Amino acid sequence: MSIRVVCVGTGLVGQQGIMAVLDHPDTELVAVVVHSDDKVGRDAGELVGRPPIGLVAIQSLEEALALEPAVVAYFNTTHGRLKATIEEFAMILASGANIVTTSVGALINPAGARPDVLAKLNAACQEGGTTLFSTGIDPGVFSDFMPIVLSGCGRRIDGIRIFEMATYESGQQSDMVAFEQVGFGLPTNTVTPLVHPDGLRVTWGNAISMMAEQLGVTLDEIAVSHEMLPSPETFEYQGRVIEQGTIAGMRFEIAGMKDGKNLISVAHVTRARHDLAPNWPRPLRGDGYRIIIEGEPRLDCELEFSSETGGHLTGGWAITAMRAINAIPSVVAAEPGVKSVFDLPVITGRGRFG
């Protein structure tokens, strides 16, 4: 019997999630919930660039839950509505529907979530006999599960370094990411939401603490830092102009510290051009992720990805969604509660051949 799934959100990640549900023989898409008025009533297939499938988008989450889904795949934005999102999660879980989500990075490590939020969600899970699993790409598979798997190859571990390295030259709305999130073209003293210290600690610090726990280490603190690169010249980038002296590169780091030593760190290194900031870490090949396990033996693993319908960034949206969608069978079978990736069986691509 197919697993009945409701998808919430049709942004870049949500579109990938909807396609993944449609393409798997063991999942059935029963509703798509949208936020924007202009998407209501549109066919779900058309919303993801496919032919119509005879299922129109709705705006009512309650209406979707009345269809008795086994799972809600929640990809909606939480920007400016995090409290409302937690309330929605509690309602969904108490109704008897499980949740897989990429929307709330702080829940990737339940032990690091706010105690009141965790208690509320766990109570809803107990009421509905349901499970919540939060995941993604980073924070997510490349900054929680993969490093821990690789650590199992070591006789001695001196440190774990995780890098996202990108130029965002291609992919769906890569210009939006570069200019609105990274801050290209803005004054170098701009503190964008992406590099705000509190956000870095909540979003990535929880994942670092979870990795440390898996390795039997109690960290002293989570340290954060960031640096903006002033452009050495004025040049055109993605149809816009980056003026000399404005932001043309950004890097930030979140580090799990123990006895003054950086044990586990996640860093993002973003350039508008590959030739900029030659002293910053750079990929061995193209845009992607690099995981280094310092120690004996030393491991250096780089993961490069792309998409048939776009570049590196589109591939990233797909990976983000697939970690949630491919976890659905395990989440449905799990005991009630808010779970981490280490509470579930290994998430695989079962049923994805062909």
CB-based contacts of 287, cutoff 8 Å, min separation 6: 165, 166, 167, 168, 169, 304, 311, 312
Q: Say if residue 41 is in the same domain as residue 187.
A: no
In order along its 354 residues, the chain shows pLDDT tens digits of: 799 999 999 999 999 999 999 999 999 999 999 999 999 999 999 999 999 999 999 999 999 999 999 999 999 999 889 999 999 999 999 999 999 999 999 999 999 999 999 999 999 999 999 999 999 999 999 999 999 999 999 999 999 999 999 887 665 567 788 888 899 999 999 999 889 999 999 999 999 999 999 999 999 999 999 999 999 999 999 889 999 999 999 999 999 999 999 999 999 999 999 999 999 998 888 889 999 999 999 999 999 998 988 778 889 999 999 999 999 999 999 999 999 999 999 999 999 997
Q: Say if residue 53 is in the same domain as residue 149.
A: no
Distance CA 238, CA 251 (A): 20
Distance CA 153, CA 297 (A): 8
Q: Say if residue 8 is in the same domain as residue 119.
A: yes
Q: Say if residue 154 is in the same domain as residue 101.
A: no
> What is the count of structural domains for the chain?
2
Q: Give a yes or no: residue 352 inside a domain.
A: no
Q: Say if residue 145 is in the same domain as residue 124.
A: no
Q: Say if residue 180 is in the same domain as residue 57.
A: no
Distance CA 331, CA 25 (A): 17
Q: For residue 126, what are the domain limits?
A: 3-135+327-343
Q: Say if residue 148 is in the same domain as residue 113.
A: no
Q: Say if residue 200 is in the same domain as residue 119.
A: no
Give the model's pLDDT for residue 178.
Answer: 86
Q: Give a yes or no: residue 316 inside a domain.
A: no
Q: Say if residue 33 is in the same domain as residue 170.
A: no
pTM for this model (two decimals) = 0.94
Give the model's pLDDT for residue 170.
Answer: 62
Distance CA 264, CA 262 (A): 6
Give the model's pLDDT for residue 173.
Answer: 63
Torsion of CA 308, 309, 314, 315, to 10 degrees: -10
Q: Say if residue 151 is in the same domain as residue 131.
A: no
Q: Give a yes or no: residue 354 inside a domain.
A: no
Distance CA 337, CA 145 (A): 20
Orientation angle between helical segments 312-325 and 12-23, nearest 10 degrees:
60
Specify whether the CB–CB gap between 218 and 274 falls below 8 A: no
Q: Give a yes or no: residue 272 inside a domain.
A: yes
281: which 2 tokens? 């870490």
65: which 2 tokens? 């839950």
